[in-house]
Structure 1
Amino acid sequence: MDSQQDTAVFAPSGEPDEAAVLAYLKAHPDFFIRNAAQITDMTIPHPVKGAVSLVEWQLGRQRERIGTLTDDLMQLMIQAHENEYLFSRLLKLLASLSAATSLDDFSERLNQWAKGLKLSHAKIRLFTDSWRLGAPFRHQDLALSRAHFETVRLSRFGDRNHYLGQLTAPEIQLLLPDSAFVGSASVSMLGGQHDLGVVIFVSRDKHHYQKDMGTAMLDQVAYFLPQLLQRWVELA
């Protein structure tokens, strides 16, 4: 039976058939034990060393697998560290904003949090058709026309909920009219439906915010800010 299987390993041309060889080795797992001495002497072509023994080749493969697993583990550790940092920062912000005693205090606490991230400041703008911003509400600097913002949204956001990068002079005049210098900024749509306004974080460094940056922290901030703001501002 074995001799028939051995013969089946060869193609009609007399050359070994690779598929049949693999099938034979799988069917005879003791092959490597029975031929240990010969296997030790076998060599395999190597692009750098010319040739290596089968044992050395196998060890190299194992080292590659270990290296890949190590890289994967390092990535997981980095992600875990980043997630821990993210959670810590968000928890600190949420605790601070929840303790605010007025809308002015709320805005100042948000600014201080931004400065803790080495940013210049933060600004909230609320769409006038989503919030009750008429008298006696006195914080008119928060009001933003949705129609006026639509041009920015179409040119900067596309189908995203954030824009990260530099702003033009007209965009700064619309969104941040009181800001002395804006290098770059993140502009995030507020609310679960992304339709209540924007929160803007400003950096003096024009290269700080880049379009390919992650937005996990901004997602969370933009989501919970409107809920906290409703202590002082009513939804329309």
Structure 2
Amino acid sequence: METSNYNENKMGVMPINKLLITMSLPMIISMLVQALYNVVDSIFVSQISENALTAVSLAFPLQNFMIAVGSGTGVGINALLSKSLGEKNFDEANKVANNGIFLAIISYLLFLLIGIFGVRFFFECQTNVVEIIDGGYYYLLICTVCSFGLFGQFVFERLMQSTGKTLYIMLTQGLGAITNIILDPILIFGLFGFPKMGIAGAALATVIGQILAMILAIYLNFTLNCQFKSDKLLMNH
């Protein structure tokens, strides 16, 4: 992107106090919403049995670890992008964006392997109750194998955050959370003709919400984030 096509975003011109408020509130809300996935799952799963609730609760540390990896990587992406955009070095910004997408893919592959080979061992280290191990295994297996939605959502939201478009992050997070809330009872208890899936239904509702949020974040980046060359994103990897 040439400098002549660049319109200074609010991070370069807005007063500091106002900028801090408009930037921080959406991000705080978005992090709270992300943490609500497991909480909402626990509320509905608790109606199945105590062991089902225990299984979901024991899965939360690994889910939180995925969030930490995605969020931590996003912080680095955000810092480098903000620096590059502030310098009006748009070629560097596109490289950082592509590297961020590549890191998200690597993170997903890591947790894919953990999900396939390590989830049952993870639960067996914490309990010997078969119902908890089996329920937690299927719940966490779905969350890890389909975690591409989580990592994709993080990286594309951080691309928007680096250009000051934090309001749109609330839209993506809200879509994911609302989808999870709606689908949880439907898939867990088999409402409206859907199969009764129990704990696995809670996991499926979670990943569907994350995938939809990722899709919306990608769409918003390619249509609204003029600081990046959309034709160059993803081309290097």
Identify the TM-score tier after normalising by the shorter chain. under 0.3
Q: TM-score, normalised by structure 2?
A: 0.26
Higher relative contact order (CA 8 A, sep 6+): 2
Q: TM-score, normalised by structure 1?
A: 0.26
Q: Which has the larger radius of gyration?
A: 1
